[in-house]
Structure 1
C-alpha cells in the first residue's frame, strides 16, 4: 500500500471520528434537560447507583373551599323572600332550581338559619326563617342583561312559591344599569399577567421543569402540565400558575418530551395583595430563567429585563389601590366572584 493510500485512509478515519464526536455532542445538546438524579445510600466500597427521580402528578391535592362566597348587594341583584313559618332545610333544598345560573350569571338562594341567624345555602337538618335569591350583576362574560334578569325572576319566584314565600324583586332597569357600570369598571381593572420562559439552548423535560419549580414552592396541579403555587389560605385560588404543553406531561416517556417554553401567570384580582404575588412571580421568573438557562420574554418575543418587571410591579400597586377604594380588594370574595 502506497504512502498516499495510507494517508487517505488515516484522514478518512479522522474525519469519521470527528463526525461521530460531533453527532454525539449534538445529540446531547438536543436532548431535553433532565431532573437531577438522586443517589441512594450505598455500602462502603460500592459504586453509587443513580436513580431517576419520580414525580407524582397526583400530589399534593389542593385544599377545596369549605364554602363559596355568599350573596352580596355590592355585586348581586337581590330579592328577599319572606315566609310566615320556618322552613325545613330539606324542603328548601327540594325547591331549589336544577341549575344555579341565569344565563351566564351565577344564581343562588340563601336562607337565614333560625339557630345561628346566619345566611347560608340551605342545608338538611336546619330551619330557615327567611330567604334571599340573588343573581350576579357581572363577571368576565359581561354584564347582566334583561333576558338574564327575567330568568332570575322566574327561578326566584318558582322557589318562593315552593316554600310558600313572598318574593320582592328590584326594578329591572336600574339593576341592569348597575350591572353595566360594574362591568365597565371591572373591564378596565382586570389584570391577568403572564410571562413566558423560553429555553436559550437545550430544551427541558417535564421532570426538569417540575424540579426547578419546586424550589420556588410550586406543586403539581390537577391538570397535566400545570404547576401551582398554593395560597397560604385554605380554599383560596393558587397564587401563581406555571404551565407547559400538556401533551409533554402525558407522553408515554416524559423524560424524552422536549419543552422549550413555559408560561408563568398571575390572575391579579383573585389573589390578596398581602400575599405579595407579583414579587413572588418576579422572583420565580428570574430564578427559573437563571437556573434553567432560559429567557423571560413578552407576547412579542422580546426579552424582558428585571427593570421592566419592576415597572409592572409599580403599576400593580395603583391597581390594588383602585380596587380597594371600590370595596373590591384583590382576593376578596367579591373580587373573586366579579373577576371570574
Structure 2
C-alpha cells in the first residue's frame, strides 16, 4: 500500500470517527434531559439520616409546604346562598333527616344543601346520625362559574326543599324568587368582572425534558404530584386549602412505554387567583417558580401565544392584582375565603 493510500485511509478513519462522535454528541444533546442521581447524605448503620425539620413558611424561594388534607365543607352563607328556614313542631333525629335528604345535592348547576340546628351544640351543621335537630334550613348557591341561579334552578330548589320539609313535618319559608334571581344576577356580574386566572408557559430552549427530570426540578421548589397524570401542585401552607399553584404538562408523556425518552417541550404554570389566600403571596410565588424553573431547566417564559413575558409586564400584573384583592376584600369575598372559593368554582 502506498503512502498516499495509507494517508487517505488514516484520514478516512479520522473523519468517520469524527462523524460518529458528532452523531453521538448530537443524540445526547437532543435527548430529553434526565433526573440527576440523589446526592443526599447516605444511610448510617442501616438507618436513614434525619433531615433538618423545617416549618411551613415563605422563607425560601417557595417555602416548605405540607401535603393537602381534606377540609371541612363550609356552611351556608347569606352572602352567596338563597336560604329558606324550615320550622319544626318538635325535635327531629339526624337519622330521619338523612333519610329525607334528596338523592342529589344540586339544583341545576348550583350546589344545594340542607343544614340542621343541633339541639345539643346550637351549631348549624350537615345532619348527622345520632344527633337531634330543632330547626333546618335549605340553601342553594346564587352563582358560580357556570352562571347565575335562574328561575328554573330556583324552582328545582323549592321542590327539593319542600320535599325534605314534608318528610320531617317542617314548614319552609321561601324568599321571593324574583328578588333572589336578581341578587344572583348581580353577584354573577360582580364575579365575572373580578375573576382572574393567570398562566405562564415555560418552553425548552434546546433539549426537551423527561417526566422524571421535570418532577425532580419542580419537586425542589415544593411541587408535588397532583391527583391526575400530567399535573403537579404547590400545596398551601394550611392543610386542606386549595393549592397555591398548578403545573401541567402533556399527560401522554407519563403513559409512554419508556417515560425517560418522552420529550416534554413545554409546561404550564397557573394561578387561580380567587381560590388562594392573599397572605400566601401567590403571584410572587408564580413569578419565582417560573424564573427558577426557566433558569434551572434552560427554558423561556412566554404567554399562551408564545410571546416572551418581560419583567415590567409582570410588575403591572402584580399592581392590578393588588387592586383586585382590595375589591374582593371590600365585598367580603376575600381571595381564598370559603365564600370566594365557592363562588369562583
TM-score (norm 1): 0.91
Contact map agreement 2:94 2:132 (CA 8 A) in 1: yes
Whether 2:240 is the aligned partner of 1:235: answer: yes
3-state SS in 2 of match to 1:94: helix
Shift of 1:337: 0.2
Residue aligning to 1:274:
279
Task: Work out the number of aligned pairs and report it.
Answer: 323
Contact map agreement 1:61 1:222 (CA 8 A) in 2: no
Whether 2:70 is the aligned partner of 1:64: answer: yes
3-state SS in 1 of match to 2:238: coil
Residue aligning to 2:85:
80
| Inter-partner Cα distance in structure 2 for 1:305 and 1:35 | 29
Contact map agreement 2:253 2:259 (CA 8 A) in 1: yes
Residue aligning to 1:52:
none
Contact map agreement 1:239 1:271 (CA 8 A) in 2: yes
| Inter-partner Cα distance in structure 2 for 1:250 and 1:243 | 15
Residue aligning to 1:20:
20
Shift of 1:151: 0.4
Alignment RMSD (CA, Å) = 1.7
| Inter-partner Cα distance in structure 1 for 2:158 and 2:23 | 71
Contact map agreement 2:209 2:264 (CA 8 A) in 1: yes
In the superposition, relative to structure 1, how do residues 208 and 114 fare at CA in structure 2: closer, same or farther (>3 Å)?
same
TM-score (norm 2): 0.90
Moved more, 84-93 or 1-10: 1-10
| Inter-partner Cα distance in structure 2 for 1:100 and 1:173 | 23
5+ residue gaps, structure 1: 43-59
5+ residue gaps, structure 2: 44-65
Q: What are the equivalent positions in structure 2 for 1:248-287 lying under 5 Å apart? A: 248-287=253-292
Q: What are the equivalent positions in structure 2 for 1:62-211 lying under 5 Å apart? A: 62-65=68-71, 67-211=72-216
3-state SS in 2 of match to 1:99: coil
CA deviation map 1:82-122 (0-9, x unaligned): 00101100000110000000010000000011111111100
Contact map agreement 1:286 1:306 (CA 8 A) in 2: no
